[in-house]
A and B are shown apart, each in its own frame.
Chain A
Amino acid sequence: MTEVLSMRGIDKAFLGVPVLSSVDLTMNQGEVHALVGENGAGKSTLMKILAGVHTADAGTIELGGRAVSFTHPLQAQHAGVASVFQEFNLLPELTVAENVHLGREPKRRGLIDRRAMIDSTAETLADLGVDDLAPTANVGRLSVAHQQITEIAKALSQGADLICMDEPTAALADAEVELLYRLIGRLRERGTAVLYVSHRLKEIFDLCDRITVLKDGRLVDSVATADITPDDLVAKMVGRRIEAQFPARLPGTETGGTRLKITGGGNDFVDSIDLDVRAGEIVGLAGLQGSGRTEIAEAVFGIAPFTRGTVEVDGTPIRITRPRKAIGAGIALVTEDRKAQGLALWQSVRANARMVLDANARVHSRRRLARVSGLLASLDLVARGEDQEVRFLSGGNQQKVVVAKWLAAEPGIIVLDEPTRGIDVGAKHKLYSVVRELAAEGLAVLLIASELIEVIGLADRIVVLHDGRIAGELPGGATEQQVMAYATGRGPE
């Protein structure tokens, strides 16, 4: 077997935070190689370095024995590395053939040769064993699976020897996954190497020849699939880390009546969601990326509402069709994307902290406005003053402003979507204590976090999602293995 790829000693840090340290990865011709690890383990970063999206801080990359160094994705493409990201690089208004040949349209007498374009696309598709996709079809009208095939055909027509796939099945239906399996089998026969980034153990064991496990940016192991069991693999992925201390449940915290009750909730992204959160309770929502965690938060808050099922707030059925209604019903949402959805970055701390009150007559009051400054202080906000624009604050302090703006409205239910993403350790601990205090005050808290340890350390109950559905429920303090078992769709440990 010839080696097509050898990455050695790859280091990468973002803003001083190390994401990869000294990671090695080697791949052979025609090999399907799984890259696995928890959320944040560094899989995507490693793949993006290979694809030329990021440049490694240290380490060497050899392709087919030749040292390469990419600063732009096009360089990686020319060197024979193609990538199929979760967000497709396709133009929906063009046809399959036009997308496959984009930027390299065959010419005849100086003009685009459409016939040749269509014929060669048909050839590539036939080579992949795909017979139900017309080169002249409009990409925007295709199913996700067919769009993915178009991406793969584009990669092959660019002469790729190595195709990276990032969670290729994340958006596929079961029948479509079958098709992808066949396609990958076909690629293996052709001698094209596939780097397969996935969380899904079943696929990894079905498809892959070798598995490389990353944890916290480090290489844990690289083994032949035949030499490892699923249980051992999960153990390698999670392991035990020396972790932050989580503050204990505050004395006097009482679990009261049900504040939020979802029955049979569903929309385009999640289905059959039965969930209730009681006063004083912290419910953790766990699941892999794309499992529907954020979608539940967005449905509860009326951004992408449930189209099926019922929602009750404090026992009253309510149809939350817009964020404004959610706010009126006493629901707060600290969004996953602080900069895009949580803050007006060019406005002051004060303007941001007052925003919810100012914008919603139903929660506006003089008393609440008067409390805003006190709230910011109680969150230990570090800023030059309330006039400072929030874009100048650190991530942790920005997040405190977001939390303050919601607490100002005195909500009964607070949904926290990745509240500690991109913030420093000190701010994290402050937020953990705030979450505990909120529960003690009788709020119902719904906590979403990619870091399993946070959900385990803080939540009274953990609801685990898989593929947009609830896969299981565990008590707080469950093990990471137990959560991962549900999250990867394998059922109870």
Chain B
Amino acid sequence: MTQRLHKPRLGTTALIYLALAGVLAAGGIAVAVDGGNLFATANLVDMLTRTSLTGFLAIGMTLVILCRSLDLSVGYTAALSSLVAATTMDGQVANVPLAIGAVLLVSGLIGAFNGAVTAYLGVNPFITTLGTGLIIKGYLDTQYKGPAGDVPVMFQQFGYTRIGPVPVSTVVMLAVAAAAIWFLRSTRTGHHMYAVGGDVDVARMSGIRTGRTLLAAHVLCGMTAGVAGLLLASRFGTGSATAYTSLYELDAIAAVVLGGTLLLGGKGGVAGTVAGVAILAVLDTVFNVLQIDPFAKDVLRGVVIIAAVAIYARRQLDRTARRPRFAEGRAS
């Protein structure tokens, strides 16, 4: 009774952190050759600041992608949330708790809508969330011609205060990430997300309420987009309808995929996503410091993302559907 022999392999998450270290080293060298220091405080602050916004979105995105779903509406949800936050606060510190509550409610409801339509009406999540995004965009474009609302200075601290070189928003993002890791590992709902994304039939046959699980993932994804909206509001000091033009959802999906979560669901996790977010942030900072022109910058980002996914795809290839009867010494 022998188990199939496998060469010991690095876990995917370990691999991604190794890649992050590699990107940091390569970036550090590139910047040093250029006569700069990537690890100067200003650059570190820049890198860490970049992680928080994409981070919030990518954490929620990880949950839906684990369930073999997707959310293209997070950028619009975040923009709408920034407006809900700023207009509810209306310059009053006393309104901050109310505003946070309102944002989480609105963004959670958007997620619930996405989840319900996808899970119970069977609409492909790509279409569901694209549609939701367009609906929100239409609302934003017609109702808000410019910035609206007023964020009190106290709440703007969320966007700007730092503990040493580490921005508070990044600390909060890491706390949310830790909570998500715990959620996926220790709660039934979180655990079932892997099953739903891995094989929805197996999950259903095991008695898992697959629709509910998917719904939960979408609600949480909506809410992290809401938190991202709060961060936008605190950084801008006002609500910004046009924030969606930054296409944050694509950054979030890229970070998730870069972080080793399978786009087909069932495999991956938030720890990898955080590394994915960090890799993108390091690249952006390096490109900035080196003053690479924006076109080349986007091209390089694209290349990095595609290359990463190609590497994962290769690692995935040896899962043959059929079980070999006369397996030779398997090469991979």
A interface residues (Cβ-Cβ under 8 A, vs B)? 73-74, 77, 89-94, 98, 102-105, 107, 110-112, 132, 140-146, 171, 175-176, 179, 266-271, 292, 307, 467-468
Contact = CB atoms under 8 A, between A and B. Distances in A.
Interface of B: 1-4, 6, 185-188, 191-192, 194-195, 198-199, 201-208, 266-267, 319-320, 322-328
B326 A271 contact: yes
Contacts of A105: 188, 191
24 contacts: A77-B205, A89-B205, A91-B266, A93-B194, A93-B198, A98-B191, A102-B195, A103-B192, A103-B208, A104-B206, A110-B187, A111-B186, A112-B187, A141-B4, A142-B3, A142-B4, A143-B1, A143-B3, A171-B323, A171-B325, A268-B320, A268-B325, A268-B327, A269-B322
B203 A468 contact: no
Contact of B199 (A91, A146, A307): A91
Nearest to A270: B326
A140 B319 contact: yes
Given A91-B202, A93-B267, A268-B320, A468 B195 contact: no
A143 B326 contact: no
A165 to B, nearest CB: 16
Contacts of A145: 1
Given A144-B323, A267-B326, A268-B327, A74 B207 contact: yes
B275 to A, nearest CB: 19
Looking at A103, A140, A141, A143, which has the most chain B CB atoms within 10 Å of its CB?
A103
A142 B188 CA distance: 25
Contact of A269 (B194, B198, B206, B324): B324
Contacts of A107: 188
B191 A104 contact: no
Nearest to B198: A91
A141 B320 contact: no
Nearest to A269: B325
Contacts of A467: 325
A366 B246 CA distance: 53
Contacts of A91: 194-195, 198-199, 202-203, 266
A417 to B, nearest CB: 15
B195 A141 contact: no
A478 B208 CA distance: 52
Contacts of B319: 92, 140
B199 to A, nearest CB: 6
Contacts of B187: 110-112
Chain B interface main SS type: loop
A103 B206 contact: yes
Contacts of B326: 266-271, 468
A460 B327 CA distance: 33
B226 to A, nearest CB: 25
A468 B327 CA distance: 12
Contacts of B186: 111-112
Given A91-B195, A111-B186, A268-B320, A102 B208 contact: yes
Rank and list the top 8 A-B pairs by shortest CB-CB distance, nearest first.
A268-B324, A103-B206, A103-B207, A102-B206, A91-B198, A271-B326, A103-B208, A171-B323
Contact of B2 (A103, A110, A143, A468): A143
A112 B187 CA distance: 6
Nearest to A268: B324
A212 B325 CA distance: 29
A73 B205 contact: yes
Contacts of B195: 91, 94, 102-103
Looking at B205, B325, B326, which has the most chain A CB atoms within 10 Å of its CB?
B325
B202 A90 contact: yes
Given A74-B205, A112-B188, A268 B328 contact: yes
Contacts of B6: 141
Contacts of A104: 206-207
Nearest to B202: A89
A96 B209 CA distance: 21
Contacts of B191: 98, 105, 112
A142 B4 CA distance: 7
Nearest to B262: A93
Nearest to A100: B206
A66 B202 CA distance: 28
A367 to B, nearest CB: 40
Contacts of B2: 143
Given A89-B202, A103-B203, A307-B328, A179 B323 contact: no
Contacts of B201: 89
Looking at B188, B205, B320, which has the most chain A CB atoms within 10 Å of its CB?
B205
Contacts of A110: 187
A141 B186 CA distance: 23
Given A89-B206, A179-B1, A468-B326, 8 more contacts: A91-B266, A94-B194, A94-B195, A98-B191, A102-B206, A103-B195, A142-B4, A271-B325
A111 B190 CA distance: 10
A376 B327 CA distance: 42
A179 B3 CA distance: 13
A89 B198 CA distance: 11
Contacts of B192: 103
Contact of A175 (B1, B188, B325, B328): B1
A468 B325 contact: yes
Nearest to A111: B186
B332 to A, nearest CB: 13
